[in-house]
Amino acid sequence: MNKQTEEDIIKVLLSFYNIPGQYFIGALILFAFWNSMKDITGWATWFLIFGIFFLFLEIITIIMAGKRLLVKLERNLNKIFR
């Protein structure tokens, strides 16, 4: 994957990440739905799947945002100490 495509993917994922922890809260809500509905219907597994997906998104977006900030910090420090 080239550098521009990677940056575009990071921008798209970070554009949905407005509030830190929003995916974690969404995952907790989905896990609660799954727990309350797992005996009632078989469709409750979708709540579990989406909850796990939201947790994965939370971890990935934090790592991407940190990596992006680290690159910006590195560039700024290089400009200062030249």
- What is the tens place of the pLDDT at every residue in 55-77? 998 888 888 878 877 888 888 88
How many Å apart are CA 33 and CA 28, to the nearest integer? 9
Residue 64 CB contacts under 8 Å (≥ 6 apart), including other chains: 10, 13, 14
- Whole-model pTM over 0.95: no
pLDDT at 1 over 70: no
pLDDT at 25 over 80: yes
- Assess contact for 61 and 14: CB atoms under 8 A: yes
Please tell me the predicted confidence (pLDDT) of residue 17: 65
- Asked whether the beta carbons of 48 and 31 are under 8 A apart, the reply is yes
What are the pLDDT digits (tens) for 27-65? 999 999 999 998 888 888 999 999 999 999 888 888 887
Six-digit token string for 41: 């219907």
Domain boundaries, the chain: 21-80
